[in-house]
């Protein structure tokens, strides 16, 4: 006689259990991916803030250099530093008045950030612009100058600004 085997259901996963596990895993992966994307964006913002802070500090230092050069030449400390908006880079001896916002654009040339003066070739435009704003605080001779170095840029459609301020005195 032949014995018939009775088929028994083997333990396994149902379709609902598999879908639930896939949903949970995909949610976890989406969270990880969104954190990675956010980290990349924050790194870009931090890098641009660091560059902007350096450009702003350079703007302040360039005006200080002009003041110190005036002292060495026996001129008043504020010679060439009247109220207004200026552009300047390390190659210029004195600040140049800004006629329009396009002149404030910063370019990259051989690893240096510069303002275009018309003679340069092979300049890489950057996202940064720098305006150096000078205001005399009072009208008397020798009064301190307020110097603002404002760096602006746009990243991913969002405008950003970084501003440094200082007072320059005729302390010599």
The predicted-structure confidence for 93-147, as pLDDT tens digits, reads as follows 889 899 888 888 999 888 888 887 666 667 888 999 999 999 988 777 668 899 9
Is 87 within 8 Å of 132 (Cβ atoms)? yes
**Cα–Cα distance between 100 and 106 in angstroms, integer?**
14
Instruction: State yes or no: pLDDT of 87 exceeds 80.
Output: yes
Whether the model clears a pTM of 0.85, i.e. scores above it, the answer is no
Instruction: State yes or no: pLDDT of 11 exceeds 90.
Output: no
**Cα–Cα distance between 170 and 145 in angstroms, integer?**
9
Task: Give the DSSP H or E segment for 107.
Answer: strand 105-109
Is 163 within 8 Å of 150 (Cβ atoms)? yes
Tens-digit pLDDT profile for residues 35-84: 999 998 889 889 999 999 999 999 999 999 999 998 889 898 888 888 89
**Cα–Cα distance between 41 and 45 in angstroms, integer?**
6
Q: Is 94 exposed, middle or buried (0-12, 13-18, 19+ CB in 10 A)?
A: middle
């Amino acid at each position: 006689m032949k014995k018939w085997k009775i088929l028994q259901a083997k333990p396994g996963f149902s379709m609902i259990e598999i879908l639930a596990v896939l949903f949970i895993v995909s949610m976890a992966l989406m969270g990880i991916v969104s954190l990675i994307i956010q980290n990349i964006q924050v790194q870009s913002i931090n890098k641009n803030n660091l560059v902007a802070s350096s450009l702003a500090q350079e703007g302040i230092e360039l005006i200080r250099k002009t003041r110190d050069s005036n002292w060495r030449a026996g001129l008043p400390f504020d010679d060439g530093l009247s109220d207004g908006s200026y552009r300047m880079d390390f190659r210029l001896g004195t600040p140049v008045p800004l006629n329009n916002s396009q002149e404030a654009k910063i370019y990259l040339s051989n690893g240096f950030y510069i303002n275009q003066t018309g003679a340069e070739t092979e300049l890489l435009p950057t996202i940064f612009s720098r305006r150096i704003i000078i205001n005399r605080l009072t009208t008397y001779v020798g009064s301190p100058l307020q110097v603002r170095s404002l760096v602006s840029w746009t990243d991913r459609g969002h405008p950003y600004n970084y501003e440094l301020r200082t007072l320059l005195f005729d302390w010599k």
